[in-house]
């Protein structure tokens, strides 16, 4: 019913949260240390350790490894705030293996976007939402939108089937874990074009119809969100989109009784340095929260730490690059829509074999404006964790042997380059 508050008892995601990946489940303590530093600086940023079914399959790990690493880190550092483990980008086919370990579920409906629901369901949706027709003024903005019956119908044609899929997955999780015992997120970012604020509002109406007490939603923004490198696009346009999306969420929360803490989730948010000021500004203007996903940058910090350590660590880092270079087509194929590698800018393995620690780390570490930084090399290694996974203990033993230098890099990267500029507005 319109305006009726959804049940919100149970787990609640904090206003500020950071989703951070840990491919090999070795850096949870170092990652949590970054959140400890944020707390010492006066802001609560809670960690959400995320790992997808695809990553578990590649590495040969189980979701329980994420939970065990997170629990151990929390105990070690005496963390008293909430923390979560995210079944990242799950579908009906993959969700069940996460039931016992995860309390955050990113429901991915990208494959259903554009699939047309039955005409009778589309027409029923249009008739059920006359409040969406006409001119709508979004709170906190000077922007208003005119929604016609055709716009409402066309948007339902594109997104209604996807939202129904999200509802089915949500109910599957609810039946296993119980209502209120997990955080639901709906992900619609992996699609061909950005959703408009009007589309987001209509999507949220459909989510409310499905009874999903969604606490974060990941829309598609304009521009490219390539893995582990900076944003490519119009930063002013992104800032406008984010502000209007936040306003659309506020409107939907009031209109449909969605959870009051519902917020935007920025996927592939790692290293998007050029839009961090816009994210921070929108959060401050609208007093809104955000969930920033940093994904696999921790794995890159492990490589940087190994190279920085020199000796066997540097040798292994060079070997990983050689193998990634040799198998780049295979490694890049699953990520083709979220990477942009210029083959001409990839150094040859023979060249890399002669590099010093400083040359390797300077090419891989993402420091804005650094002459030696190589975004193509970074993206290749970002998707190249499969190479290290095949090494098994040979890789993880060296990571553990160089824990101190790696942990320092992991914490500094997460706090200095991500948490500080987004949540504290300090320069990256």
pLDDT per residue as tens digits for the range 79-133: 999 999 999 999 999 999 999 999 999 999 989 999 999 999 999 999 999 999 9
Mean pLDDT value of segment 329-343: 93
Q: Where are the beta strands (DSSP E) in 267-412?
A: 290-295
Q: How confident is the model at residue 264 (pLDDT cuts 50, 70, 90)?
A: very high
Q: How confident is the model at residue 426 (pLDDT cuts 50, 70, 90)?
A: confident
Looking at residue 424, its pLDDT comes to: 96
CA distances (Å), 416 to each of 176, 356, 361, in order? Answer: 39, 25, 17
Instruction: Provide the token pair at 340.
Output: 């942009």
Q: Which residue has the tokens 């975004």?
A: 375
Q: How confident is the model at residue 249 (pLDDT cuts 50, 70, 90)?
A: very high
Q: How confident is the model at residue 337 (pLDDT cuts 50, 70, 90)?
A: confident
Mean pLDDT value of segment 264-282: 96
Is there a contact between 337 and 273 (Cβ–Cβ < 8 Å)? no
Looking at residue 193, its pLDDT comes to: 84
Q: Is the pLDDT assigned to residue 9 strictly greater than 80?
A: no
What is the per-residue DSSP string for 380-420? Answer: HHHTTHHHHHHHTHHHHHHHHHTHHHHHHHHHHHHIIIIII
How far apart (Å, rounded) are the C-alpha atoms in residues 175 and 326? 45
Interstrand relation of 263-266 and 290-295 (parallel, antiparallel or unpaired): parallel
pLDDT per residue as tens digits for the range 367-387: 989 999 999 999 999 999 999
Angle at 162 between CA 160 and CA 163, to 5 degrees: 65
Nearest to 307 by CA among 418, 409, 413, 415: 409
Count helices and strands (H / E) in the chain. Answer: 17, 10
Looking at residue 191, its pLDDT comes to: 76
Q: Is the pLDDT assigned to residue 269 strictly greater than 50?
A: yes
Residues ≥6 apart with Cβ < 8 Å to 311: none
Mean pLDDT value of segment 296-311: 96
Mean pLDDT value of segment 301-324: 98
What does the DSSP 8-state code read for residue 224?
A: B
The three state secondary structure string of the chain is: CCCCCCCCCCCCCCCEEEEEECCCCCCHHHHHHHHHHHHHCCCCCEEEEEEEHHHHHHHCCCHHHHHHHHHHHHHHHCCCCCCEEEEEEECCCCHHHHCCCCCEEEEECHHHCCCCCCHHHHHHHHHHCHHHCEEEECCCCCCEEEECHHHHHHHHHHHHHHHHHHHHHHHHHHHHHCCCCCEEEEECCCCCCCCCHHHHHHHHHHHHHCCCCCCEEECCCCCECCCCCCCECCHHHHHHHHHHHHHHHHHHHHHHCCCCCCEEEECCCCCCHHHHHHHHHHHHHHCCCEEEEEECHHHHHHHHHHHHHCHHHHHHHHHHHHHHHHCHHHHHHHHHHHCCCCHHHCCCHHHHHCCCHHHHHHHHCCCCCCCCCCHHHHHHHHCCHHHHHHHCHHHHHHHHHCHHHHHHHHHHHHHHHHHHHHHHCCCC
Is there a contact between 214 and 259 (Cβ–Cβ < 8 Å)? yes
Instruction: Provide the token pair at 208.
Output: 């409310």
Is there a contact between 156 and 122 (Cβ–Cβ < 8 Å)? yes
Q: Is the pLDDT assigned to residue 425 strictly greater than 90?
A: no
Q: How confident is the model at residue 1 (pLDDT cuts 50, 70, 90)?
A: very low
CB environment 278-315: b (16+ within 10 A), e (fewer): bbbebbeebebbbbbbbbbbbbbbbbbbbbbbbeebbe
């Amino acid at each position: 019913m319109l305006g009726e508050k959804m049940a919100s008892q149970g787990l609640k995601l904090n206003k500020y949260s950071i989703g951070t990946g840990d491919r090999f489940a070795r850096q949870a303590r170092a990652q949590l240390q970054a959140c400890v530093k944020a707390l010492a600086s006066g802001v609560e940023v809670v960690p959400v350790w995320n790992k997808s079914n695809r990553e578990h399959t590649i590495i040969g790990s189980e979701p329980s490894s994420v939970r065990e690493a997170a629990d151990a880190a929390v105990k070690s550092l005496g963390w008293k705030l909430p923390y979560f483990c995210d079944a990242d980008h799950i579908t009906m086919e993959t969700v069940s293996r996460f039931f016992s370990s995860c309390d955050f579920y990113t429901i991915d409906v990208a494959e259903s976007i554009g699939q047309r629901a039955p005409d009778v369901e589309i027409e029923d949706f249009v008739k059920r939402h006359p409040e969406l027709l006409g001119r709508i003024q979004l709170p906190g903005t000077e922007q208003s939108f005119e929604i016609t019956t055709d716009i409402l119908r066309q948007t339902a044609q594109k997104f209604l089937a996807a939202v129904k899929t999200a509802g089915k997955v949500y109910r599957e999780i609810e039946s296993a874990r119980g209502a209120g015992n997990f955080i639901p997120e709906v992900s619609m970012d992996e699609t061909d074009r950005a959703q408009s604020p009007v589309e987001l509002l209509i999507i949220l109406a459909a989510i409310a119809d499905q009874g999903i007490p969604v606490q974060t939603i990941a829309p598609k923004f304009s521009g490219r969100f390539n893995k582990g490198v900076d944003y490519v696009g119009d930063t002013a346009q992104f800032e406008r989109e984010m502000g209007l999306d936040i306003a659309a969420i506020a409107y939907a929360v009031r209109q449909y009784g969605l959870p009051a803490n519902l917020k935007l989730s920025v996927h592939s948010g790692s290293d998007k340095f050029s839009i961090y000021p816009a994210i921070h500004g929108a959060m401050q203007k609208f007093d809104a929260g955000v969930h920033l996903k940093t994904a696999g940058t921790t794995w890159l910090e492990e490589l940087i730490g190994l190279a920085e350590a020199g000796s066997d660590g540097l040798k292994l880092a060079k070997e990983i690059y050689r193998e990634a270079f040799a198998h780049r087509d295979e490694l890049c194929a699953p990520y083709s829509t979220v990477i942009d590698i210029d083959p001409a800018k990839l150094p040859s393995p023979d060249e890399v074999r002669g590099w010093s620690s400083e040359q390797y780390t300077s090419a891989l570490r993402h420091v804005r404006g650094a002459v030696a930084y190589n975004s193509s090399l970074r993206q290749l290694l970002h998707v190249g964790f499969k190479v290290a996974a095949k090494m098994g203990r040979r890789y993880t033993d060296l990571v553990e042997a160089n824990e101190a230098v790696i942990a320092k890099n992991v914490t500094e990267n997460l706090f200095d380059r991500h948490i500080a500029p987004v949540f504290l507005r300090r320069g990256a």
